[in-house]
Amino acid sequence: MLKKIFVTSSIMVMILLIYLMPGVIELDNNDIATSVEYVDLTTSTVYLLDNDDLLVEANVSIVDDGNVINKIKSLIKHLSEASSEIIPNGLNFVMPKDIHLLDVSLDEKIVKLNFSKEFNDLSDKRLIRLVEAISFTLIDLDEVDGVSIFIEGKNINTFNDKIPEVVTKDFGINKKYDIEKTDDIVKYVIYYSEKIEDDIYYVPITKYINSSSDKISIIIDDLSSNYIYEPNLISIVSEKLELIDYQISNNEMMLNFNNSIFLNGSEIKEEVVYPVISTVFSNYDVESVILKVNGEEILKKTSKNS
């Protein structure tokens, strides 16, 4: 009897609940958003600070909508402390968050950037680093050859004569001076590696030294030397590496090395190739670089951005 009462009561409760529940809502397909917006992403290079106040190459992803002005704005945003972007491991933003980009224009491959007045509040050292970071970041774009920086509509040169009206890569980056006289001064850019946490980054250094040797010989000797300005920077290029000969013709540079460019057997590592190739493109106006070992071609790079 109790079992029958329990079953009957349960059925009645279920019927009551079903009656009280709202009806099933039928959704029309038109009520559901079915459109998906796809965006093209591209990888670009920015220059951020390490803990030793050196600018380091870092790769970031930005939206590529085909508009170079939007690309420039996005890259500048990646330099700022105000950015919501995730910064690469172990690096720091170079532009304080209170500095705002007011306007951007591009004319004949020269970018004009107009910043808020806070840009002029930086110390000389921080200002130079920021100018270096901005100019090298943007000049890496194919569409840009130089950067003209303005503060509230006035060219930065009117406030600081150390900075030219149009900044090109001749301005240098992470500059180091090792000169004892005013004669035979050689300026060159060289790339070192830096390990930060578990990642390898590349650090361009613009050096000024006294020497009467060919620039390329200076560069190779520097890369293969045990002496480096900063203790945290490294070069895994073998100290036994020798440049047998080189040639420049038809916008192409050929470097012929002994087999010490190989680390193990016939293996050549990216940590060797990248500094050598990047250093050549930064110092010579060529479109491609060929690496040879004892006269046999082992590698060719056709673009500094490849």
pLDDT, tens digit, for every residue of 20-76? 555 444 545 555 454 555 557 888 999 999 999 999 999 999 888 889 999 999 999
pLDDT for residue 169 is more than 80? yes
For the cut 50, the answer to whether the pLDDT of residue 206 exceeds it is yes
Let me know: does 58 contact 47? Beta carbons within 8 Å.
yes
- Give residue 74's pLDDT: 95
| 88 pLDDT more than 90 | no
pLDDT in the model for residue 262? 86
If one counts every other C-beta atom within 10 angstroms of the C-beta of residue 208, the result is: 14
- Mean pLDDT, rounded, of the chain: 86
Query: Among 82-96, 128-142, 216-230, 282-296, which is the least confidently predicted range?
Result: 216-230
| pLDDT mean over 267-282 | 89
Percentage of the residues of the chain whose pLDDT score is greater than 70? 84
Given a cut of 90, whether residue 165 has pLDDT beyond it is: yes
pLDDT value of position 302: 84
Distances (CA, A) of 297 to 179, 253, 262: 37, 12, 13
Read off the pLDDT of residues 125-164 as tens digits, 9 standing for 90 and up: 999 999 999 999 999 999 999 999 999 999 999 999 999 9
Question: If phi over 0 gives left and psi between -120 and 50 gives alpha, with beta otherwise, what is residue 218?
Answer: alpha
Listed residue (214, 238, 213) closest to 226, CA to CA = 238
DSSP for residue 80: B
In contact, 167 and 138? CB cutoff 8 Å: no
pLDDT at 245 over 50: yes
- Going by pLDDT thresholds of 50, 70 and 90, the confidence category of residue 225 is confident
In the predicted model, is pLDDT for residue 176 greater than 50? yes
Are 111 and 167 in contact by the 8 Å Cβ rule? The answer is no
Between 280 and 16, whose confidence is greater?
A: 280
Q: Is the pLDDT of residue 6 over 50?
A: no
Average pLDDT over residues 183-206: 92
Tell me the pLDDT band of 3, cut-offs 50, 70 and 90. Answer: very low
CA distance 239 to 225: 6
pLDDT value for 5: 45
pLDDT surpassing 70 at residue 117: yes
Number of Cβ within 10 Å of residue 117's Cβ equals 13
